[in-house]
Amino acid sequence: MKRDFLTLSDLSPDEHLLLFRRAHELKKNARQRTLEGRSLLLLFEKASTRTRISFEAAIGQLGGTAITLPTADSQIARGETLEDTARVASRYVDAIMFRTHGDERLKAFARAATVPVINGLSDGGHPVQVLADLFTVEEKLGETAGKTIVFIGDCASNMARSYCEAAPIFGFSLRLSAPEGYRPSAAELRGARVTANPTEAVQGADVVVTDVWTSMGQEAEAKARLNALSSYTVDETLVAKAAPHAIVLHCLPAHRGEEITAGVVDGPRSAIFDEAENRLHVQKALLEQLILRR
């Protein structure tokens, strides 16, 4: 039976541990041809840099082939249903990565597909990115269990919501710092602490995370968001309040001078570009797990 990866909860804690163990192996020995002759469809409704490149490179380095299709270039743009596209594509490829808007679109597509579907980003979460983030935490600081991670800024974002989902799975404490109106619903918190004060939030933290204040599709809200979040910039002064060994993560692209300063992005605490690289290694392990049913 096929397995999808739409949310972090689609894998058990033990499966996440095995995934990270395999990702470490693949990072040391990049080109293992375990997916020779397999193919992956990358279906995009939203723009992408890291997701596209990392998935194309991942399947290629494992011996397979990527087919990249923006939906604007497909028959979806002319009215073909997601379900019909999913059914047909499933007869051509071994897995599908779908980067979309609403989570209902993602679920509908996955229900119709007969091969594994991976969430490459949706309004409700960005699980492949958070996997790479937590793999980076493990790589830099040891196991994620027992660590304190702080998310600063727009905590109603898909990234912050995936962090809320991840905390009980991976056993870390999560603090969120955001103004009213930029926080997850109470049901989504899953034990995360929320404060309006970013200085209070970062005290002694092991990891400081932020993301853009205006995500794709929110451009009309940009001015209001900038005003509401202007005191939540991750700068050198704020990072200094975290633990001496703390690292800083950002999924990129970064708006330097808004949610994070250039000095932090390029500074000694930054693990941002290692985090970006780790998308490749974690997604290789994920593709193996789903396609080979490991």
* Active site residue ranges: 99, 126, 129, 211, 251, 279
d(CA 176, CA 198): 8
d(CA 65, CA 168): 35
Give the per-residue SS3 of 47-98: CCCHHHHHHHHHHHHCCCEEEEEEHHHCHHHHCCCHHHHHHHHCCCCCEEEE
DSSP bridge pairs for 248: 208, 270
DSSP bridge pairs for 5: 118
SS3 181: coil
Q: Name the strand (E) or helix (H) holding 16.
A: helix 13-28
d(CA 49, CA 259): 19
